[in-house]
Amino acid sequence: MRLNEFDDSLSRADLDALEVFADKVFGKVGIDVNFTRHFLDRVNDERNIKQITKGELTRLFKQEAKRWAKPIARLGPDAEGTMKDLQTQINLPFVLVWDHNNQELDLIAKTVMRKKDFKTHNTEFPVESITEGDSAPGAGAIHHSEIAPTLRNLEQKLGIPLMKNALGSVGKKEFSGDIDIAVQLTKEEQDDFQKKLQSTPGLTFVQKTGVFITSADIVGYDDSKQADGKQRTGKVQIDFMPGDIDFMKHYYHSPHSKEMSQDGKSSNYKGVHRNLMVSAMIDKIDVKSSDETTPDGRPLEIERWMFSPTQGMVRVIRRPVEKKNGTGYTKANTNEVIKGPFKNPAEWAKILKLDNADDLYSFESLYAAAKKNYPSDLVQKVVSDFKSNPTIIKQGIPTELEEQVK
């Protein structure tokens, strides 16, 4: 007897609804979720022993986003991984693909199966659908006044600079949900670094994915300082991110909130608004397309700039991929880098035709610079692309864009 003779199988409409939910929970880190056609076949396959339900998949994506969204996003384009629910034994292999049109990462759910002891060479992201908590269980928010004492204490124990290498919005708003730290490590040094984290008092090593995830005791914890909607536990999650420190500090830059500004600079929006505004602008700068096109109207060559989460700004020639049988082109493209990478804000400002690197501070400064330096029709195109970006729609379209561009 086939499973779907006694258990309801999932329909295309069920997957569409699940995709909307998954987009919502992963949209906070700029990831858009998509399912392959094979996924629908495999989710209803009798080899699963027991039908995989929509509820099980909903819980899986919810817990994966809660625990692993940021580490998954930091894997970057072309990386592969597997979501694993240890309780239901559901395994979901995926690949990350950079969406050049929407300037975001697509998480392509390739297949799914219910299988005990599923083996894979890819990075695994395990959760338990009912009992699992945050990436670092027991960790909560940290008040800005507690950040420096906590990091300086760990600097002494680990022997590396931490405070000056904090990324994103750390210390730029009253409370931070976690702390991201850039660390310069070769692949050969990472095993020794993990051992040091595991042996450091006051620091609990959780797991290594693309980053080292830990939970640290908050030094000078003040229980009287409570954050609306954020749990406070006396511990904070600290993620150590190996890579190019200077580049990560530029790419993961986040502006100060108005309340935390120290130099008069602030923003009402997040770092993701700033980065996606940069992407919308660079997408329209110095684009050169060939006259020759594919049967569906795509240029055979496009020379353009790209803003990459791993390389910064690069100049590429994009070409559609030919079908293996030689009868046309697939929907995929290849990008040949011909200039770059350019990894510092001064170079970015020059490429974007801005006045200087200060224009890259926030969404507001970028928007003001675009209106000052670009023709009105180009501003209209940039704004249109920015507003239609799925991540911006989820995060919230800036109120400034309600005005009429002149």
| Residues 200-255: tens digit of each pLDDT | 999 998 777 778 889 999 999 999 999 888 889 999 999 999 989 999 999 999 99
Does some domain include residue 373? Answer: yes
Residue 140 and residue 229: Cα distance in Å, rounded? 11
Q: DSSP letter string over 211-225?
A: SEEEEEEPTT--TT-
Domain of 309 in residue numbering reads as 271-402
Residue 81 and residue 336: Cα distance in Å, rounded? 25
Could you give the 3-state DSSP secondary structure of residue 404? coil
Any idea how long the chain is? 406
pLDDT for the residue 333: 79
- Answer with the one of 200, 224, 252 that is the final residue of a domain: 252
Residue 157 and residue 211 share a domain: yes
Residue 194 and residue 149 share a domain: yes
CA distances from 205 to 131, 197, 198, 335 (A): 19, 6, 5, 38
- Answer with the one of 92, 127, 162 that is the final residue of a domain: 127
Residue 77 and residue 96: Cα distance in Å, rounded? 5
Could you give the 3-state DSSP secondary structure of residue 318? strand
Residue 114 and residue 169 share a domain: no
Residue 197 and residue 215: Cα distance in Å, rounded? 10
Question: Splitting the chain (406 residues) into consecutive groups of 10 residues, what average pLDDT does each group show?
Answer: 51 89 87 90 88 91 87 84 91 89 84 89 76 64 96 95 93 92 91 94 83 92 89 93 92 91 89 91 94 90 88 90 83 86 96 97 97 96 89 86 62
Residue 395 and residue 275 share a domain: yes
CA distances from 385 to 20, 80, 378 (A): 21, 28, 11
Residue 298 and residue 288: Cα distance in Å, rounded? 13
Does some domain include residue 24? Answer: yes
Residue 150 and residue 118 share a domain: no
pTM of the model: 0.74
Residue 320 and residue 242 share a domain: no
Residue 292 and residue 160: Cα distance in Å, rounded? 54
Does some domain include residue 262? Answer: no
pLDDT for the residue 6: 34
Residue 89 and residue 160 share a domain: no
pLDDT for the residue 4: 40
Residue 193 and residue 161 share a domain: yes
- Answer with the one of 76, 99, 127 that is the final residue of a domain: 127
Residue 166 and residue 242 share a domain: yes
Does some domain include residue 311? Answer: yes
Could you give the 3-state DSSP secondary structure of residue 386? helix
Residue 347 and residue 307 share a domain: yes
pLDDT for the residue 215: 93
Residue 373 and residue 351: Cα distance in Å, rounded? 13
Q: Bridge-partner residues for 217, per DSSP?
A: 235
The CATH number assigned to the domain holding 222 equals 3.30.460.10
Does some domain include residue 135? Answer: no
Does some domain include residue 87? Answer: yes
Does some domain include residue 119? Answer: yes
CA distances from 311 to 35, 247, 344, 365, 383 (A): 27, 8, 10, 23, 24
Does some domain include residue 225? Answer: yes
Structural domain total, the chain: 3
| Beta pairing, strands 302-308 & 312-322 | antiparallel
Residue 173 and residue 80 share a domain: no
Residue 148 and residue 145: Cα distance in Å, rounded? 7
pLDDT, tens only, 67-87:
888 888 888 788 899 999 988
